[in-house]
Amino acid sequence: MSIADEPGLSVAGDLGPIADVRSVGLTNRLLTASRIGTSNRGRVLETLHRSGPASRAQLARALNVNRATIASILQPLIDTGKLVEGPPVAASRNGGKPARPLWFSHDGPLIGGVQLSPDFVAAALMGIDGSVRRQVQVDYERTATSQTISAAISEATAGCFSNTELIGIGVAAAGMVNTHTGSIISMHLNHGLDGLDVRAALKQQYDAPVLVDHHPRVQALGDLWFGLGRGVQNFASVYTGEALGFGIVYRDKIVRGREGAGGESGHTTVQIDGQLCRCGRTGCWETVATLGWLCKKSAQMGLDEAATMTSEKLAAQSDDGNAHAAELMDLYARNLAVGMANNEQVLASGTYIMHGDVCGGGPRMLSAVQGWMTRLAPERGMPPLVLFAEQPDIITLLGGAGLVLSSTFATTV
Ligand SMILES: [Zn+2]
């Protein structure tokens, strides 16, 4: 039996009301009596997952309820093998029974994660504890047809999910996504993905709920459940490289417009009358803070390996004493910070967890981005904090698990 089999605690078929910015009124309605038990169980599991292994007493304190209430919620989850008790830890000084911290069972339910990018599809089979059991990647060309891409999705997922019971499959899809239909609306870098009905393709093969969402948003859920965003109430998860995007977590919930709209931060205007963007508009943030821009600038400044320039190469050339490389690195950091600072002006996310190319620039790049963020963000005492994701970065696949868990544990019903 999986968590999804718990009465009333099922994985939703679409991503309707979770932190949908236009449905705040709906999410605030009262719970029916039959939903209270489900919601409480979800709340306890969510708290445990975010805080790490915890005893019954710690959970009771965190949720401000008595131990009997917590015990009545936890016991069925222990009896059915979803949670396990760790070895006892020392008794408190005031006497009391030694506490036995609870955590998710390594042998508990399994979750599927899929990342669909312009160049590859990756799949991972994961435990509810975030452990990766299997991982398969299949590459394709930018000119691949939708049939080729569909075949690649089948191959990668079959290598991970065949003959396995899953509580859900969470998909991080590149491009503009409709979370209600589970399909990709359009993808500028690979038109073979345009209109691809990802949910239908996976539902044909697997008997599990399939949730599809915008890549940076899934990345943010990976940070929230398994990465540097754990325990952080408000943050932005920033993807850098050939494209740019944000996933925003606001008061512990992912921000998602209707049917998955929004999150297209790469196409916010930072330069009126600026360069033409892939989207057809001009002066988007993507035109001045992506690898395409970096390569062009590197060529103009006469840097080595300009055509394949990355943050890692730029940092290496800068470390070798190349003043032009150091200058360009600071300019790239500034241009990245501009888009993040705009978000800080609007939402005050406070913490920016960065992924992708920029992380290759190491501590020098981190300090440059942090410096520009401090200069460009509103002055209210504490400047926003910039973090680079831990490497190797598989947070987007883990975010697929986070997407399923966020839906499973959703308390805003
Ligand atoms: Zn654009």
Structure tokens that stand for 228 in this block: 């540097």
Structure tokens that stand for 324 in this block: 């032009």
d(CA 185, ligand 1 centre) in Å: 16
Alpha-carbon distance of 315 to 326, in angstroms, equals: 8
Q: Are 394 and 132 in contact (CB under 8 A)?
A: yes
**What integer is the mean pLDDT of 263-287?**
94
Q: Is the pLDDT of residue 13 over 50?
A: no
Rounded to 5 degrees, what are φ and ψ at 64?
60, 45
d(CA 38, ligand 1 centre) in Å: 42
408 — pLDDT class (breaks 50, 70, 90): confident
d(CA 393, ligand 1 centre) in Å: 26
> How many Cβ atoms are within 10 Å of 312's Cβ, its own excluded?
15
Q: Which residues pair with 211 in a beta bridge?
A: 170
d(CA 347, ligand 1 centre) in Å: 21
Q: Is the pLDDT of residue 96 over 80?
A: no
**Model pLDDT for residues 174-202, shown as the tens digit of each residue:** 999 999 999 999 998 999 999 999 999 99
Q: How many residues does the chain have?
A: 413
Whole-number CA gyration radius for the chain:
22
d(CA 272, ligand 1 centre) in Å: 12
**What integer is the mean pLDDT of 282-289?**
97
- The secondary structure of 2-50, three-state, reads CHHHCCCCCCCCCCCCCCECCCHHHHCCCCCHHHHHHHHHHHHHHHHHH
Q: Is the pLDDT of residue 268 over 80?
A: yes
For the chain, domains (ranges, CATH) are 31-107 (1.10.10.10), 110-221+396-405 (3.30.420.40), 231-389 (3.30.420.40)
d(CA 266, ligand 1 centre) in Å: 7
Report residue 39 CA to chain centroid gap. Answer: 23
